[in-house]
Protein backbone atom coordinates (compact mmCIF):
# COMPACT_ATOMS: atom_id res chain seq x y z
CA UNK A 1 0.00 0.00 0.00
CA UNK A 2 2.75 2.41 0.98
CA UNK A 3 4.71 1.76 -2.13
CA UNK A 4 1.71 2.24 -4.33
CA UNK A 5 0.95 5.59 -2.69
CA UNK A 6 4.49 6.64 -3.32
CA UNK A 7 4.31 5.70 -6.98
CA UNK A 8 1.16 7.80 -7.31
CA UNK A 9 3.03 10.75 -5.87
CA UNK A 10 5.71 10.45 -8.52
CA UNK A 11 3.20 10.22 -11.32
CA UNK A 12 1.29 13.21 -9.98
CA UNK A 13 4.52 15.14 -9.84
CA UNK A 14 5.27 14.28 -13.44
CA UNK A 15 1.88 15.50 -14.53
CA UNK A 16 2.53 18.80 -12.83
CA UNK A 17 5.87 19.29 -14.52
CA UNK A 18 4.43 18.79 -17.96
CA UNK A 19 3.85 16.61 -20.98
CA UNK A 20 7.38 16.42 -22.24
CA UNK A 21 8.55 14.89 -19.01
CA UNK A 22 5.77 12.35 -19.15
CA UNK A 23 7.16 10.90 -22.35
CA UNK A 24 10.54 10.17 -20.80
CA UNK A 25 9.23 9.62 -17.32
CA UNK A 26 10.32 5.99 -17.20
CA UNK A 27 13.91 6.93 -17.99
CA UNK A 28 14.62 7.88 -14.44
CA UNK A 29 18.25 8.85 -14.85
CA UNK A 30 17.56 11.36 -17.61
CA UNK A 31 14.77 13.24 -15.92
CA UNK A 32 15.73 13.12 -12.27
CA UNK A 33 18.87 14.49 -10.77
CA UNK A 34 20.09 11.75 -8.51
CA UNK A 35 22.52 13.70 -6.36
CA UNK A 36 22.89 17.45 -5.93
CA UNK A 37 25.39 17.70 -3.11
CA UNK A 38 29.03 17.59 -4.21
CA UNK A 39 30.98 19.16 -1.37
CA UNK A 40 32.95 16.25 0.06
CA UNK A 41 33.00 16.38 3.87
CA UNK A 42 34.32 12.97 4.80
CA UNK A 43 35.53 9.96 2.90
CA UNK A 44 37.32 6.70 3.51
CA UNK A 45 38.79 5.23 0.32
CA UNK A 46 40.28 2.26 2.23
CA UNK A 47 43.69 2.74 0.65
CA UNK A 48 45.79 1.57 3.63
CA UNK A 49 45.94 -2.18 4.22
CA UNK A 50 45.36 -3.50 7.73
CA UNK A 51 42.74 -2.56 10.29
CA UNK A 52 40.25 0.15 9.26
CA UNK A 53 41.19 3.72 10.19
CA UNK A 54 40.72 3.88 14.02
CA UNK A 55 40.21 7.64 13.81
CA UNK A 56 36.96 6.99 11.96
CA UNK A 57 35.71 3.49 12.70
CA UNK A 58 34.75 1.76 15.92
CA UNK A 59 33.03 -1.55 16.48
CA UNK A 60 29.84 -2.91 17.94
CA UNK A 61 30.98 -6.19 19.50
CA UNK A 62 29.34 -9.35 20.77
CA UNK A 63 25.74 -10.53 20.44
CA UNK A 64 24.00 -7.32 21.51
CA UNK A 65 23.58 -8.16 25.21
CA UNK A 66 26.38 -5.73 26.14
CA UNK A 67 24.32 -3.04 24.41
CA UNK A 68 21.28 -3.95 26.48
CA UNK A 69 19.58 -5.81 23.63
CA UNK A 70 18.31 -9.39 23.75
CA UNK A 71 20.95 -11.82 22.40
CA UNK A 72 20.88 -11.63 18.60
CA UNK A 73 20.76 -7.83 18.44
CA UNK A 74 17.01 -7.81 18.98
CA UNK A 75 16.41 -9.72 15.73
CA UNK A 76 17.49 -13.24 16.74
CA UNK A 77 20.60 -12.83 14.62
CA UNK A 78 23.12 -15.67 14.93
CA UNK A 79 26.46 -13.90 14.56
CA UNK A 80 28.86 -12.64 17.19
CA UNK A 81 30.58 -9.43 16.10
CA UNK A 82 34.33 -9.13 16.52
CA UNK A 83 37.05 -6.67 15.51
CA UNK A 84 39.36 -9.53 14.50
CA UNK A 85 41.21 -9.35 11.17
CA UNK A 86 39.33 -12.60 10.39
CA UNK A 87 36.16 -10.55 10.23
CA UNK A 88 37.26 -7.06 9.22
CA UNK A 89 40.28 -5.78 7.35
CA UNK A 90 41.38 -3.44 4.62
CA UNK A 91 42.96 -5.25 1.70
CA UNK A 92 43.85 -4.10 -1.80
CA UNK A 93 42.01 -0.84 -1.47
CA UNK A 94 38.83 -2.41 -0.10
CA UNK A 95 37.21 -2.73 3.28
CA UNK A 96 36.41 -6.42 3.67
CA UNK A 97 33.80 -7.57 6.18
CA UNK A 98 33.81 -11.37 6.44
CA UNK A 99 31.09 -13.55 7.93
CA UNK A 100 32.44 -16.92 9.02
CA UNK A 101 30.95 -20.11 10.35
CA UNK A 102 32.81 -21.20 13.46
CA UNK A 103 30.55 -24.05 14.60
CA UNK A 104 27.08 -25.48 14.22
CA UNK A 105 24.80 -22.43 14.05
CA UNK A 106 27.74 -20.31 15.22
CA UNK A 107 29.00 -17.42 13.17
CA UNK A 108 31.32 -14.44 13.51
CA UNK A 109 31.16 -11.20 11.60
CA UNK A 110 31.83 -7.49 12.04
CA UNK A 111 29.85 -4.30 12.53
CA UNK A 112 31.70 -1.02 12.02
CA UNK A 113 30.35 2.28 13.24
CA UNK A 114 31.37 5.94 13.15
CA UNK A 115 29.32 6.69 16.27
CA UNK A 116 32.28 8.11 18.22
CA UNK A 117 34.10 9.88 15.39
CA UNK A 118 31.65 11.06 12.77
CA UNK A 119 28.05 12.06 12.45
CA UNK A 120 26.24 14.61 10.32
CA UNK A 121 22.79 16.09 9.95
CA UNK A 122 21.61 16.12 6.33
CA UNK A 123 23.80 15.58 3.30
CA UNK A 124 24.69 12.82 0.94
CA UNK A 125 25.89 9.45 2.29
CA UNK A 126 27.23 7.07 -0.30
CA UNK A 127 29.21 3.80 -0.50
CA UNK A 128 30.42 1.67 -3.38
CA UNK A 129 30.06 -1.97 -2.43
CA UNK A 130 29.98 -5.54 -3.62
CA UNK A 131 27.64 -7.75 -1.62
CA UNK A 132 27.82 -11.37 -0.40
CA UNK A 133 25.59 -14.31 -1.36
CA UNK A 134 23.46 -16.96 0.32
CA UNK A 135 20.36 -17.60 2.36
CA UNK A 136 20.66 -16.07 5.84
CA UNK A 137 23.24 -13.45 4.84
CA UNK A 138 22.04 -9.93 5.70
CA UNK A 139 24.46 -7.08 5.01
CA UNK A 140 23.62 -3.43 5.51
CA UNK A 141 24.89 0.12 5.11
CA UNK A 142 22.80 2.24 7.46
CA UNK A 143 22.59 5.30 9.67
CA UNK A 144 21.36 5.78 13.23
CA UNK A 145 20.46 9.00 15.03
CA UNK A 146 23.26 9.92 17.44
CA UNK A 147 20.91 10.45 20.40
CA UNK A 148 19.50 6.95 20.78
CA UNK A 149 20.71 6.91 24.39
CA UNK A 150 18.45 9.83 25.27
CA UNK A 151 15.67 9.13 22.78
CA UNK A 152 15.48 5.35 22.49
CA UNK A 153 15.01 3.78 19.08
CA UNK A 154 12.86 4.26 17.07
CA UNK A 155 12.48 7.83 18.30
CA UNK A 156 16.10 8.60 17.40
CA UNK A 157 15.51 7.41 13.82
CA UNK A 158 17.17 4.92 11.49
CA UNK A 159 17.94 5.37 7.80
CA UNK A 160 18.80 2.13 6.01
CA UNK A 161 20.66 3.22 2.88
CA UNK A 162 21.06 -0.37 1.73
CA UNK A 163 19.86 -3.69 3.06
CA UNK A 164 20.00 -6.94 1.14
CA UNK A 165 19.15 -10.58 1.64
CA UNK A 166 21.63 -13.08 0.25
CA UNK A 167 18.92 -15.28 -1.25
CA UNK A 168 17.67 -12.42 -3.44
CA UNK A 169 20.90 -11.32 -5.13
CA UNK A 170 19.27 -8.90 -7.57
CA UNK A 171 17.38 -6.86 -4.97
CA UNK A 172 18.33 -4.29 -2.30
CA UNK A 173 15.98 -2.17 -0.23
CA UNK A 174 16.13 1.23 1.38
CA UNK A 175 14.10 2.05 4.49
CA UNK A 176 13.40 4.57 7.20
CA UNK A 177 12.39 3.73 10.78
CA UNK A 178 10.79 6.13 13.24
CA UNK A 179 7.93 6.33 15.72
CA UNK A 180 4.94 4.54 14.20
CA UNK A 181 6.92 3.15 11.31
CA UNK A 182 9.62 0.73 12.36
CA UNK A 183 10.70 -2.88 12.45
CA UNK A 184 8.54 -4.88 10.08
CA UNK A 185 6.39 -1.78 9.45
CA UNK A 186 9.13 0.57 8.30
CA UNK A 187 8.79 2.73 5.20
CA UNK A 188 10.70 0.72 2.67
CA UNK A 189 11.12 0.12 -1.02
CA UNK A 190 12.93 -2.48 -3.05
CA UNK A 191 15.23 -1.81 -5.98
CA UNK A 192 15.70 -4.70 -8.43
CA UNK A 193 18.85 -4.51 -10.50
CA UNK A 194 17.17 -6.41 -13.35
CA UNK A 195 19.79 -7.90 -15.63
CA UNK A 196 22.59 -8.06 -13.08
CA UNK A 197 23.40 -9.15 -9.52
CA UNK A 198 24.72 -7.30 -6.48
CA UNK A 199 27.15 -10.10 -5.54
CA UNK A 200 29.13 -10.10 -8.79
CA UNK A 201 30.13 -6.45 -9.13
CA UNK A 202 30.35 -3.11 -7.36
CA UNK A 203 27.39 -0.76 -7.09
CA UNK A 204 26.89 2.65 -5.51
CA UNK A 205 24.29 2.90 -2.75
CA UNK A 206 23.37 6.31 -1.46
CA UNK A 207 20.92 8.73 0.04
CA UNK A 208 20.59 12.45 -0.28
CA UNK A 209 18.95 13.85 2.83
CA UNK A 210 17.53 17.26 3.55
CA UNK A 211 15.19 18.83 6.12
CA UNK A 212 12.08 17.39 4.44
CA UNK A 213 13.20 14.50 2.23
CA UNK A 214 15.39 11.43 2.00
CA UNK A 215 16.16 10.37 -1.57
CA UNK A 216 17.45 6.81 -2.09
CA UNK A 217 19.54 5.82 -5.08
CA UNK A 218 21.46 2.91 -6.56
CA UNK A 219 24.11 3.76 -9.15
CA UNK A 220 22.37 6.34 -11.33
CA UNK A 221 18.78 5.50 -10.35
CA UNK A 222 16.74 7.43 -7.82
CA UNK A 223 14.14 4.92 -6.66
CA UNK A 224 12.56 6.25 -3.48
CA UNK A 225 11.79 9.52 -1.77
CA UNK A 226 10.59 9.62 1.84
CA UNK A 227 9.10 12.89 3.14
CA UNK A 228 7.35 14.12 6.32
CA UNK A 229 4.05 13.74 4.45
CA UNK A 230 4.79 10.04 3.98
CA UNK A 231 5.82 9.46 7.60
CA UNK A 232 2.69 11.36 8.69
CA UNK A 233 0.57 8.80 6.90
CA UNK A 234 1.97 6.28 9.37
CA UNK A 235 0.28 8.03 12.29
CA UNK A 236 -1.61 5.47 14.36
CA UNK A 237 -3.56 5.38 17.55
CA UNK A 238 -3.13 2.27 19.61
CA UNK A 239 -3.94 1.53 23.25
CA UNK A 240 -4.86 5.15 23.77
CA UNK A 241 -1.46 6.41 22.64
CA UNK A 242 -1.36 8.56 19.56
CA UNK A 243 1.69 8.04 17.41
CA UNK A 244 2.11 10.97 15.09
CA UNK A 245 4.38 9.37 12.47
CA UNK A 246 6.85 12.00 13.48
CA UNK A 247 9.66 13.03 11.11
CA UNK A 248 12.70 12.33 13.26
CA UNK A 249 15.38 12.82 10.64
CA UNK A 250 16.39 16.18 11.99
CA UNK A 251 19.42 15.34 14.07
CA UNK A 252 22.96 14.10 13.27
CA UNK A 253 23.18 10.47 12.20
CA UNK A 254 26.22 8.19 12.18
CA UNK A 255 27.21 5.36 9.81
CA UNK A 256 27.08 1.59 10.40
CA UNK A 257 28.25 -1.17 8.04
CA UNK A 258 27.80 -4.84 8.90
CA UNK A 259 26.94 -8.35 7.81
CA UNK A 260 24.37 -10.09 10.00
CA UNK A 261 23.83 -13.85 9.74
CA UNK A 262 20.39 -15.31 10.28
CA UNK A 263 17.70 -13.55 12.22
CA UNK A 264 14.03 -12.86 11.81
CA UNK A 265 14.28 -11.14 8.44
CA UNK A 266 16.63 -13.35 6.38
CA UNK A 267 16.01 -16.64 8.19
CA UNK A 268 18.86 -19.02 9.00
CA UNK A 269 21.54 -20.04 6.50
CA UNK A 270 20.75 -23.26 4.64
CA UNK A 271 22.81 -26.06 3.12
CA UNK A 272 23.54 -23.96 0.02
CA UNK A 273 24.99 -21.06 2.01
CA UNK A 274 28.74 -21.04 1.57
CA UNK A 275 31.02 -19.60 4.26
CA UNK A 276 32.97 -17.43 4.52
CA UNK A 277 30.97 -14.67 2.86
CA UNK A 278 32.52 -11.29 2.20
CA UNK A 279 31.27 -7.77 1.65
CA UNK A 280 33.66 -5.44 -0.14
CA UNK A 281 33.49 -1.65 0.29
CA UNK A 282 35.46 0.46 -2.17
CA UNK A 283 34.66 3.75 -0.47
CA UNK A 284 32.37 5.58 1.91
CA UNK A 285 31.80 9.26 1.14
CA UNK A 286 29.73 11.94 2.80
CA UNK A 287 28.90 15.27 1.15
CA UNK A 288 26.95 18.34 2.07
Partner 1 sequence: MMKNINLVKSKTIVLFGLLIVFNFGCERDLTDQAVPATFPNTADIYTDNPVGLTDEFFISFDPAGGANTGAFDTDDNEAYEGTSSIRIDVPASNDPDGNFVGGIFKDRGEGRDLTGYDALTFWAKGSVTGTLSQVGFGTDFEDDRYPASRSDIQLTTNWKKYIVPIPDPSKLVQEKGMFLFSAGGFDILGDGPNGNEIGWIFWLDEIRFEKLGTNLTVGAEIFEGQEIMRDEFIDTAFGVSGVAHTVNLGSTGENISMNLSAAYFDYESSNPSVADVNADGDVEVIGLSGTTTITASLEGFGANGSLTVTSNGIFPHAPIPAQNATNVVSLFSDSYTNVPVRHYNGFFLPFQTTQGGAGADPNNVDLQVPYPDGSPDNIINYTALNFVSIGMYESVPNVDVSAATHLHVDIFVREDIEPGDFIRLEMESGTFSGPTASGSFLLNSTALMDNMNEDGWTVLDIPLSSFSGNIDFTSLGQLFFISDGTISDIWVDNVYYYNE
Hey, which residues are catalytic here?
A: 158, 163
Contact yes or no for 100/275 (Cβ under 8 A): yes
User: What is the smallest separation between the CB atom of 133 and partner 1, expressed in angstroms?
Assistant: 7
Is the torsion defined by CA of 121, 146, 215, 123 positive or negative? positive
> CA 162, 170, 134 angle in degrees (round to 5)?
85
Q: In what order do the strands lie in the sheet with 253-261?
A: 58-59, 111-113, 253-261, 137-145, 158-164, 171-177, 187-192
User: What is the smallest separation between the CB atom of 272 and partner 1, expressed in angstroms?
Assistant: 4
Q: Pick between residue 228 and residue 276 the one whose CB is nearest to partner 1.
A: 276
Q: Pick between residue 135 and residue 285 the one whose CB is nearest to partner 1.
A: 135
- CA–CA separation, 161 and 176 (whole Å): 9
Residues of this chain that bind partner 1 (CB under 8 A): 133, 135, 165-170, 193-197, 199-200, 272, 274
Q: Pick between residue 112 and residue 259 the one whose CB is nearest to partner 1.
A: 259
Bridge partners of residue 259, in order along the sequence: 139
- CA–CA separation, 240 and 238 (whole Å): 5
* Pairing mode, strands 106-109 and 79-81: parallel
Instruction: Please report the DSSP string for 120-175 in residue order.
Output: BSSEEEEEEEE---STTEEEEEEEEETTTTTSTTTTT-EEEEEEE-TT-TTEEEEE
Amino acid sequence: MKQRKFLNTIIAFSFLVGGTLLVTNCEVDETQKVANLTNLVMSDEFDVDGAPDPDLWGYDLGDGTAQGLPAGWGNNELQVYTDSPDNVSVENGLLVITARQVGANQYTSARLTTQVNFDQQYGRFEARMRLPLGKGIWPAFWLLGNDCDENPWPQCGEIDVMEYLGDAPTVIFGSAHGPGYNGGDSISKEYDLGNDRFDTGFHVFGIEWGPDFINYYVDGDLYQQITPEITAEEAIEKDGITNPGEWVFNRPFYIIMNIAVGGDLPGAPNADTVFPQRMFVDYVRVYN
